[in-house]
Structure 1
Amino acid sequence: MASAELRNRLEELLKRLNIDTICVDHPEVFTVEEMMPHVAHLSGAVTKNLFLKDKKKKSLWLLSVRHDRQLNLSDVAKRLGLGSGNLRLADESLMLEKLKVGQGCATALSVRHDRQLNLSDVAKRLGLGSGNLRLADESLMLEKLKVGQGCATALALFCDTDRSVRMVLDRDLTHGGHQRVYFHPMTNSATMGLKPDDLLRFLQETGHEPVVLSFD
């Protein structure tokens, strides 16, 4: 399914939920560094998102953190109770299947874009065991989220109808006093902002009650 159609479906869902958004269109971007010049004027928290898998249990996780976080997957895995070294990046085909977006568009461990993250620590905090979290490959992301590289986004979770992807959210995004939090709307050529409370409501409506972790 084309990203334009998926974006339309997302916008229709948000409208039905009476969720107010703002959206900025920009050239296609694949990294936070490429994106920031186009969104630096926005008030709120920009996110970076990782689509992850547990190498032992094969569970899938979407991690959204503030864009400036530095991540250590082993630490994240331990915080999730997966065990150190057991969290991996999911491949793009799975992301497309579940979230309908490809690489560069991912949305599910959601943190502020400037966060420094240790995935081993996150895994431990999630009860996964240090080192058990890995970035999932793009094929897996395409399969599960319907987006590919550069598009990971929490907003793609409406595509995960069997609820096989678990959401991990940076506490700063919902409790940091931000006017809005920003994600790709199924395409990496736009950035969408919504209020923190509306993000939580969206996740609840899609059946993805988030695990909220503090990275401060």
Structure 2
Amino acid sequence: MTEGNEQKVYDALKALEIKYIRYEHEPLYTVEDTKKLDINITGQHCKNLFLRNSKGNVHYLVLLDDAKKVNLKDLAKQIESTKLSFASEERLYKYLGLRPGSVTPFGIINDIESEVIVLIDKDITKADVVNFHPNVNTATIGLSYSDLEKFIKWHGNKVYYVDISI
């Protein structure tokens, strides 16, 4: 699914007239892996977390600055959710069509029912350029924050803005 999964992102960006810069690199699985890259990728580096509530009936995709850590208890309070935990690999694949290490907001393109709620840390909304994987972890694409919002709104997933302190 990975090849077609990546192409779906580029096709959607083209249809939405969203410009981006693409960087190819070795597979990256963690934020630490990105620090070892020998490429200068300009803009805000982000990390993405796929979470679920305690019943497993609500899923969240959290987008935040790659230097921040999330307190799941505080985040649950902020969004008025039951206890949050990381969703399983199976759930990640079922809802976003992604594998661990490739979590990205572009995965919502595979969320047919637009069920996943996107939580965006307010700090990344201030960035001119944000960087994410295009559904595979062997590339990174940089685009304007406003174009990222355009993509998410186009797909129809609910979006909430959250405050994640470091």
Structure 1 pair 51/133, CA: closer, same or farther in 2 (3 Å)?
same
Structure 1 pair 205/154, CA: closer, same or farther in 2 (3 Å)?
same
Structure 1 pair 125/173, CA: closer, same or farther in 2 (3 Å)?
same
The CA distance in 1 between the partners of 2:87 and 2:56, in whole Å, is 13
Q: Report what 1:140 is aligned to.
A: 91
Structure 1 pair 154/39, CA: closer, same or farther in 2 (3 Å)?
farther
Q: What percent of counterpart residues are identical?
A: 28
Q: Which runs of 4+ in 1 moved over 6 A?
A: none
Kept after mapping to 1: 8 A contact 2:44/2:130: yes
The CA distance in 1 between the partners of 2:158 and 2:114, in whole Å, is 10
Q: Report what 1:95 is aligned to.
A: none
118, 128, 136: which is aligned to 1:187? 136
Deviation at 1:6, TM superposition (A): 1.0
Kept after mapping to 2: 8 A contact 1:151/1:186: yes
Q: TM-score normalised to the size of structure 2?
A: 0.94
Q: Report what 1:104 is aligned to.
A: none
**Of Structure 1 and Structure 2, which has the larger fraction of its residues in strand?**
1
Matched position secondary structure for 1:158 = helix
Which structure ranks higher in relative contact order (CA pairs < 8 Å, sequence separation ≥ 6)? 2
The CA distance in 2 between the partners of 1:121 and 1:19, in whole Å, is 34
Kept after mapping to 1: 8 A contact 2:46/2:130: yes
The CA distance in 1 between the partners of 2:66 and 2:39, in whole Å, is 12
Q: Report what 1:93 is aligned to.
A: none
Structure 1 pair 57/147, CA: closer, same or farther in 2 (3 Å)?
closer
Matches within 5 A, 1:115-134: 118-129=71-82, 132-134=83-85
Kept after mapping to 2: 8 A contact 1:43/1:179: no
1:166-205: CA deviation from partner (whole Å, max 9, x where unpaired): 100011111x2x2210111010111111101001110000
Q: TM-score normalised to the size of structure 1?
A: 0.73
The CA distance in 2 between the partners of 1:210 and 1:192, in whole Å, is 21
Structure 1 pair 148/136, CA: closer, same or farther in 2 (3 Å)?
same
Structure 1 pair 31/215, CA: closer, same or farther in 2 (3 Å)?
same
Q: Report what 1:24 is aligned to.
A: 23
Matched position secondary structure for 1:149 = coil
The CA distance in 2 between the partners of 1:8 and 1:47, in whole Å, is 21
| RMSD across aligned positions (CA) | 1.4
Deviation at 1:57, TM superposition (A): 5.6
Unaligned runs of 5+ in 2: none
